[in-house]
Structure 1
Amino acid sequence: MRLPCPLCGDRDRREFFYQGAAVTLDRPARDAGDAAWNDYLHNRDNPAGETRDLWHHEAGCGAWIVVHRNTVTHEVYGAELAQKAKA
């Protein structure tokens, strides 16, 4: 798979580190209990289809980017710098 770094252009996926879904997680209250914290720390959605993921170009320019892609077809629709990405 090739990812489009906004600063370097198309690069092989092996230059990047996958961080996870580019979404804001709702952190539980400090006293929420073990079940709430366990869910927050260990459970994530695993969607089939279009996603927006956070990647770090660790073997390149060092930029954090948000990649819009399809997990079923492996099609990559585009990417933007994380600091400019819409929530």
Structure 2
Amino acid sequence: MKIMNCPLNGPRNISEFVYGGEVKAMPNILTCTDREWADYVFYSENTIRVITEWWFHSPSGYWFIAERHTATDEIFKTYDPSELFNQRIDFEATSALEAEKPV
């Protein structure tokens, strides 16, 4: 049985988790092209390395970050997203700004 350490709930069976994708910089939603947005959402590098990923613990509804090696599948570290992110993006305010732009 594979175990993953949830920063909120401790060591848990891997079947309780859902992969959420690689953590990567989001392009500016006001200025990016459709291609840039598609690259951000759908594509990632497929190389052997340690990557930073989003994971979701289903029973508790908790999102967190894990550092995992893509070849060995070894998980080196898991931590709360607040260790990496300290600002919140207000998409509603951004959408309002976009709507006010002259065409």
1:35: how far off? 4.2
- Are the structure 2 counterparts of residues 63 and 38 from structure 1 closer, same or farther at C-alpha, using a change threshold of 3 Å? closer
The count of residues paired between Structure 1 and Structure 2 equals 84
RMSD: 2.3
- Structure 1 unaligned segments of length 5 or more: list them: none
1:79 is aligned to 78
CA contact (8 A) 1:27 1:40 kept: no
- Structure 2 unaligned segments of length 5 or more: list them: 87-103
1:62: how far off? 1.7
Q: In 2, distance between residues paired with 1:2 and 1:79?
A: 12
1:12: how far off? 1.7
> Identity rate of aligned residues, in percent?
26
Flag as ranges the 4+ runs of structure 1 deviating above 6 A: none
1 or 2 for the larger relative contact order (CA 8 Å, sep ≥6)? 1
Mapped pair 1:12 → 2:9: no
Within a 5 Å distance, the mapping from 1:2-81 to structure 2 comes to 2-27=3-28, 29=31, 32=33, 35-59=35-59, 61-81=60-80
Aligned AA for 1:6? P
Q: SS of the residue aligned with 1:83?
A: helix
TM-score, normalization: structure 2?
0.65
Asked which structure has the greater CA Rg, the reply is 2
